[in-house]
Amino acid sequence: MANVCFLLADGYEDSEMKNPYEAMNEAGHNTVIVGLEKGVELKGKKGTVSYVSDISINEVSVSEYNAVIIPGGSAPEALRVNDEVIDFVKQANEKGKVIAGICHGPQVMISAGILKGKNSTSFIGIRDDVKNAGATFSDEEVVVDGNIITSRTPKDEPAFIREILNKL
Tens of pLDDT, residue by residue over 22-60, are: 999 999 999 999 999 999 999 999 999 999 999 999 999
Confidence (pLDDT) at 57: 98
Q: Which residues of the chain have pLDDT under 50?
A: none
E strand residue ranges, 59-165: 67-70, 98-102, 119-120, 136-137, 142-145, 148-151
Residue 45: domain span: 3-167
Of 78, 71, 65, 83, nearest in space to 29 by CA: 65
CATH number for the domain spanning 131: value is 3.40.50.880
| Residue 89 CB partners (closer than 8 Å, separation 6+) | 7, 68, 99, 108, 109, 112, 114
Confidence (pLDDT) at 167: 97
Confidence (pLDDT) at 8: 98
Q: How many domains does the chain have?
A: 1
Positive or negative CA dihedral for 71, 73, 77, 78? negative
Confidence (pLDDT) at 46: 97
Residues involved in catalysis: 103-104
Mean pLDDT of the chain: 98
